[in-house]
């Protein structure tokens, strides 16, 4: 495994980090808890020492599973990352969207970054994760109803109290990061990035490189479509909303699969799966520090970790990029 610095925080994380969104079930359909625990432990055995989750994933369930899985593993050998600021238990802040819990109960989700809320969320997460500190605590989404300075001041207080080691953000653009940095030095920004979603390359990536901020790329496999396993006509399980995404519908899915077929010979030459090739490509991109990849079971976790052994030359990366240039997503 490769380990990379999270900005200037002093924290090193595994380049491939276990993304624990799917195991919470929320927006991904059901997940077997036993399989999820085994997936995290299998990842650790492969050198994946970092786990990223969030309070809202399964309304606390993902954090609980992570906490269970890490029992028996020395705490100082793992980097626990979680997020705050998506409240399903209060009507305050910036309304995000209507959702439902894992039992189908309707929920309104609010983005909220108020100080007292952050302190409460941190304590709740610590309890669910069964730990006394969080390595990287990230605001899940910006909240337009709360000044960024208030949110950052709360995070600074948590660092001082020893509750968290470093602070990060998620889904922040360049301007929002600049505003946050007026109050607190951030370690990272976690944002969506994949072969078919590269909009951050224009403004955010150059800023993070210049200011030495880590970029944690989530959904590098674009929620599974870049594995090559999801083809036209694929049926999603109940509660799995991926089928509503533009990447899984109509001609987009057809074109993505055609592009992936062009990559299969290179993957075969490397002794790798398409998913492993895509993960490795992600880690080769300028400014990308970490690739967050989820797994529902131990087999998937081992496969994901194996991507670190794939080696791509500068010429091979350029070849992939040239093929990407002709891929149209409507």
DSSP type of residue 236: P
d(C-alpha 120, C-alpha 125), whole Å = 9
Residues 6+ apart with CB under 8 A from 160: none
Residue 238 token pair? 């109940």
Instruction: Report CA Rg, the chain.
Output: 19
Q: What are the φ and ψ backbone dihedral angles of 75, each rounded to 5 degrees?
A: -60, -35
User: Which residues fall within 8 angstroms of residue 127, CB to CB, at 6 or more apart?
Assistant: none
Residue 181 · residue 201 · CB < 8 Å: no
Instruction: Please indicate whether residue 57 is annotated as part of the active site.
Output: yes
**Alpha carbon distance 85, 143 (integer Å):** 8
Spot the catalytic one: 3, 44, 57, 133.
Answer: 57
Backbone CA torsion sign across 146, 193, 185, 116? positive
Measured in whole angstroms, the distance separating CA 110 from the mean position of its chain's CA atoms is 20
| CA quadruple 310, 316, 320, 323: dihedral, nearest 10 | -150
Instruction: Tell me how far apart the alpha carbons of residues 203 and 210 are, in angstroms, rounded to a whole number.
Output: 11
Residue 76 forms beta bridges with which residues?
A: none
Beta bridge partners of 188: 168, 214
Instruction: Give catalytic residues, as residue numbers.
Output: 57
């Amino acid at each position: 495994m490769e380990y990379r610095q999270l900005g200037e925080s002093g924290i090193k994380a595994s380049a491939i980090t276990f993304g624990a969104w799917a195991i919470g079930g929320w927006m991904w359909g059901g997940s077997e808890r036993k399989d999820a625990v085994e997936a995290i432990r299998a990842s650790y055995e492969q050198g994946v020492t970092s786990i990223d989750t969030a309070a809202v994933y399964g309304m606390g369930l993902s954090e609980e599973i992570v906490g269970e899985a890490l029992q028996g593993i020395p705490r100082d050998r793992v980097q626990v990352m979680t997020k705050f600021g998506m409240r399903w238990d209060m009507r305050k802040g910036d309304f995000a969207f209507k959702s439902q819990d894992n039992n189908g109960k309707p929920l309104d989700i609010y983005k909220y970054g108020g100080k007292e809320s952050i302190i409460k969320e941190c304590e709740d997460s610590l309890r669910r994760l069964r730990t006394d500190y969080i390595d990287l605590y990230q605001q899940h989404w910006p909240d337009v109803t709360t000044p960024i300075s208030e949110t950052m001041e709360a995070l600074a207080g948590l660092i001082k109290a020893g509750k968290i080691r470093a602070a990060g953000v998620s889904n922040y653009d360049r301007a929002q990061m600049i505003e946050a940095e007026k109050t607190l030095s951030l370690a990272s920004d976690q944002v969506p990035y994949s072969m078919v979603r590269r909009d951050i390359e224009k403004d955010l990536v150059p800023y993070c490189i210049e200011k030495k901020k880590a970029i944690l790329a989530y959904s590098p496999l674009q929620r599974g479509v870049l594995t090559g396993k999801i083809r036209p006509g694929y049926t999603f399980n109940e509660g799995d909303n991926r089928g509503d995404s533009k990447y899984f519908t109509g001609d987009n899915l057809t074109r993505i699969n055609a592009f992936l077929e062009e990559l299969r010979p290179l993957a075969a030459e490397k002794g790798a799966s398409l998913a492993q090739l895509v993960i490795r490509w992600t880690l080769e991109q300028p400014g990308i520090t970490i690739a967050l990849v989820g797994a529902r079971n131990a087999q998937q976790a081992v496969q994901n970790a194996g991507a670190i052994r794939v080696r791509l030359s500068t010429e091979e990366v350029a070849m992939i990029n040239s093929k990407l240039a002709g891929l149209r997503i409507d």
